[in-house]
Each structure stands twice: as C-alpha cells, then as structure tokens.
Chain A
C-alpha cells in the first residue's frame, strides 16, 4: 500500500534518566518528530500513545499543548508501538484525518519484568513457583532451536557483539561499549544458554512518528518514507509462546511468521526486497530465531550467515543497525517506534556512522513479546 507516509521521526535517548518522567520523554520525542516533519502540534489532528508503565500517555498534551485532539492510548505488550503505529496508519486510511502521530514512551525499573500472571490468563501458581519469567522462556526457545538446527553459543555471541558494536555508532543508545565475543560468552550465565550480555534490559526512553496521507507528504518532507505495511498478530494454538505453562504436541508457526507473511502480502514485497532490518532481539537467541521467522533465511542458516558477517552493517542483510534492543534496552511503549526511527534514517541515508552502504529502499521492523504477540512494519522510499 502507498497510502500512508512517514514525514517525521523523533527519539528521546534510551537509557536511565532519573528525574525525567516518561511523559516528559514522550513530549520531547514528539517535538523532535514534529521539527523533523516541519509541523507544529496544532497541525496534528489525532494521536495514538503507547506505554506499559504510564496509564495515560496522552498526558503529553500538558507539555505540547491542550489542543483538544483525539488521543487514544494503547498497550499491547512488546508490540505496543506496532499497535500504535497500525492504529495511526489505519485512522488515516479511514479518511477521517490527514496528519497524526504515534508516540511511545516508558520508564521501567531495572531487572526482569514482574507482573501478576492472572492478568495474563495464567494461574497464580505459575508465578508463585518461579515460572512466570520471560528470560527463561527465551532461553528454552533458543535451547531447543540450537538442538534442532545446529546453532552454537558462538553464534549467539556474534549477534550480541554485533549489536553492541552497532550501538557504538548510535549516540542515542543505552549500552555504548564494545564487547568481545569472549567477554559475552564468559559473562555470568543467566538462563542457560544465555549469558548476561546476551540479554537486553528494560529501561527508559521515548520515540515518535508523524504520519500523513501519502498524497500530501511532499508538502512536508523532501523524502517521505512510505509505510507499506503494519501488522499485528497473536499466537495460534500450537505455537510455543512466552507465559504458557504448556504447548500442544502439534506445533504451529509463531505469531511473528503470521505477521510477517501478512505484512509482505500487504506490501507486495518479499524478504528478498528488504535492504535493512530491525528485529526483536530481546536476547541474542531471539534475533537468530527471528531471522528465520521473518523469512530472511532458512532455519540453521544463521550459523554460516553470522560467521560470514552477513548481518553486519556492511553485510548483505544488515540487522539491528542501531544496536537493537541489546544496545538500546527496551522501554516497551517506545521500542517499535525506535525501529521505525532507525529505518527511516537508513532509508534517508542519514544514519551517520552506522549508515548501510548503497541506496537502501526497503526497511523491515519486527516486534515480539508477551503473551505471544508480534508486530511487523515494512517501510520503503
């Protein structure tokens, strides 16, 4: 589809910012996106806000202006930002408005997420006995995947080392340090086979995107980027998913596979058309699995691809060019809009030190998280 364009992106750095609220970070990201688009808040006709920790992301209006615009808040796990983006794009497609925004923000406490399993449709005992934890799910998913497809711990370390290295080129990243594969492999084991430096951290940050009806995009942006597809899917029976105490014997493909196929179909594109990729790297194993789930390689091919540097910024399939979740951390409400921010910079050839070579035309972003929700967005020049 060519009916919705992205004319502005903005990002508040990801990290830890004592004394700054998520709402303030969201407002900052929104201002940057509006400046990028060359518009003012009064020009924004509607907005969607995404957050996990903030009940009312729409409170950014206190800092942007009380214009009375319709502003709807969404929360959808790690796919929150994808949901805000999809809803904003669909609102334009409905024809009611021409210009709107998706704004994501969050401010998490350090450490793994903790919540009441009952709120996820899972019994209390699952949490009481120490099973309601996302990191150990990702560990068990990659453990099985490594067994089935011959992926080694070295490949997990290569993914993490690449993402830290890419984060070094991103002034907005959280962990900006080069870590060797040996350091990553030798760091304390958290959930076998995943070590400390193979995981991302929940943290703080915000990102925002200005969208408009494609026909009017050239009024604002010298180089509009088109949102070709934005799709959210949930798990089907038989998928092996986070926060599930069991899985049927007959397996079904993951919700990411469903979202990916639907997005390619919507965009009229395939994985071979994609030039730059952002994947949900909750941990290094997730990036490996998501490479296959999104159609970029067959199961098991990651081992050779990573060894050959194929997913580096200068490789044939650059993945997580801004450092991904591993280097940026994960403020849930903002994470997917950070992906869009990076893809837009890459397609505009404005990504500085981390710019992929050549003339990238198609960008791809994917989110995945509790309790089995995936989002995929495809953008193009």
Chain B
C-alpha cells in the first residue's frame, strides 16, 4: 500500500472514517477560528482549545484553479503538462466559512448553496513516493 501523510498535523482528523477539520475555540470569548491557533482574532485572548468543526455544509462561493501554482509554496511537482486543475470554494459550516479544495471532476457542476461534505484526498507525492493528503469538500450525492 502507498504510504500516506497528512500535509500538516492538527489540521484535520486522520485516519478517520468521517474526518473533520480542526479549529480552535477561544478560552475567554468562545470565538471559533480556523485553522486552530493559540491567539483569538476576536478578543485578543492568548489561550484557545482545539475543536473539530462540522463535516457538512453548503457551498458559499467557488472557482476553479486552472493554472499550476508556483512551487514553492505549492508542493505539487508534476510537470506543467500534467497539472490537473482543481476546484476551490468556501464552505459554510455551522462554525464559519472555511476555504478548501473541492474534490471531484473539474467539470462537475458547482452551485452556490449546494450541500457539501468533507473528505480527505491525495494531492501531491513526496520524492520518496509518500502521498500527501489534504482535506477537501465534495458535493453530497442527492
């Protein structure tokens, strides 16, 4: 089996059957932030606690990334001709709107307001062959 790793620790639950992304709740004012960070952007408090966020929501806005991002900071190493465009959107969760890659065919229909769910997808490969995983949202089949 191909070895895999998450792109960052503490970003999303993995491995998990129903993964969730991880935010943080301010210990002073309860404001929820994504991704998790120690300081609160609302009240300026400096202690927070990690919390998993909802794994389903609706598509708030979207686009398609059709040109290959520069590496670095992008870690995809595919030759320019093999770059596969990907969708990007903001997903409205109960706790806030978070930005994510969109899983699924690049030409799939995307609509503001459509129901979405979290998944984990490989998006790049390390030099030693390890697949790098990130969180993404995909339309919920109706």
> Which residues of A are in contact with B by a Cβ distance under 8 Å?
111-112, 114-117, 123-125, 127-133, 136, 139-141, 143-144, 147, 188-194, 237, 244-249
Q: Which of B8, B60, B63 contacts A191 (CB 8 A)?
A: B63
Q: A132-B74, A143-B62, A192-B66 are in contact. List 5 more A-B contacts (CB 8 A).
A: A125-B134, A133-B65, A140-B62, A246-B99, A247-B96
A372-B65 Cα distance, complex, nearest whole Å: 21
B11 touches A125 (CB 8 A): yes
B74 touches A130 (CB 8 A): yes
> Which A-B residue pairs are the 9 nearest by beta carbons?
A127-B73, A114-B70, A139-B63, A144-B61, A125-B8, A246-B34, A140-B61, A128-B75, A246-B98
B96 touches A248 (CB 8 A): yes
A128 touches B74 (CB 8 A): yes
B14 neighbours in A (Cβ, 8 Å): none
Given A123-B35, A133-B65, verify A245-B7 contact (CB < 8 Å). Answer: no
Q: Which of B61, B74, B96 contacts A141 (CB 8 A)?
A: B61
Within 8 A of A (CB), among B87-121: 88-90, 92, 95-99, 101, 112
A249-B57 Cα distance, complex, nearest whole Å: 12
Shortest distance in angstroms between A160's beta carbon and chain B's nearest beta carbon? Answer: 17
A192 touches B64 (CB 8 A): yes
Q: Is B48 an interface residue (CB 8 A)?
A: no
Shortest distance in angstroms between B43's beta carbon and chain A's nearest beta carbon? Answer: 10
B97 touches A246 (CB 8 A): yes
B101 touches A125 (CB 8 A): no
B99 touches A245 (CB 8 A): yes
Q: Is B69 an interface residue (CB 8 A)?
A: yes
Name which residue of chain B comes closest to A128, CB basis.
B75
Name which residue of chain B comes closest to A122, CB basis.
B35
A-B contacts, 13 of them at CB < 8 A, read A129-B7, A130-B65, A140-B62, A140-B88, A143-B112, A144-B112, A189-B64, A191-B66, A192-B66, A193-B63, A237-B42, A244-B99, A249-B95
Shortest distance in angstroms between A193's beta carbon and chain B's nearest beta carbon? Answer: 8
A128 neighbours in B (Cβ, 8 Å): 7-8, 73-75, 124, 132
A117 neighbours in B (Cβ, 8 Å): 73
A129 touches B61 (CB 8 A): no
Shortest distance in angstroms between A122's beta carbon and chain B's nearest beta carbon? Answer: 9
Given A123-B8, A129-B134, A131-B88, verify A116-B60 contact (CB < 8 Å). Answer: no
B45 neighbours in A (Cβ, 8 Å): none
B73 touches A116 (CB 8 A): yes
A132 neighbours in B (Cβ, 8 Å): 69, 73-74
A131 touches B101 (CB 8 A): yes
A246-B21 Cα distance, complex, nearest whole Å: 12
Name which residue of chain B comes closest to A121, CB basis.
B37
A191 touches B7 (CB 8 A): no
Given A125-B11, A130-B86, verify A192-B92 contact (CB < 8 Å). Answer: no
Q: Which of A133, A190, A249 contacts B69 (CB 8 A)?
A: A133
B99 neighbours in A (Cβ, 8 Å): 131, 244-246
A249-B90 Cα distance, complex, nearest whole Å: 11
B124 neighbours in A (Cβ, 8 Å): 128
B101 neighbours in A (Cβ, 8 Å): 129-131
B72 touches A127 (CB 8 A): yes
Q: Which of A129, A131, A245 contacts B34 (CB 8 A)?
A: A245
Name which residue of chain A comes closest to B36, CB basis.
A123
Shortest distance in angstroms between A261's beta carbon and chain B's nearest beta carbon? Answer: 22
Q: Is B33 an interface residue (CB 8 A)?
A: yes
A147 touches B112 (CB 8 A): yes
A246-B31 Cα distance, complex, nearest whole Å: 13
B63 neighbours in A (Cβ, 8 Å): 136, 139-140, 143, 191-194
Q: Which of B64, B70, B74 contacts A111 (CB 8 A)?
A: B70
B92 neighbours in A (Cβ, 8 Å): 249
Q: Is B52 an interface residue (CB 8 A)?
A: no
B42 neighbours in A (Cβ, 8 Å): 237
A190 touches B67 (CB 8 A): yes
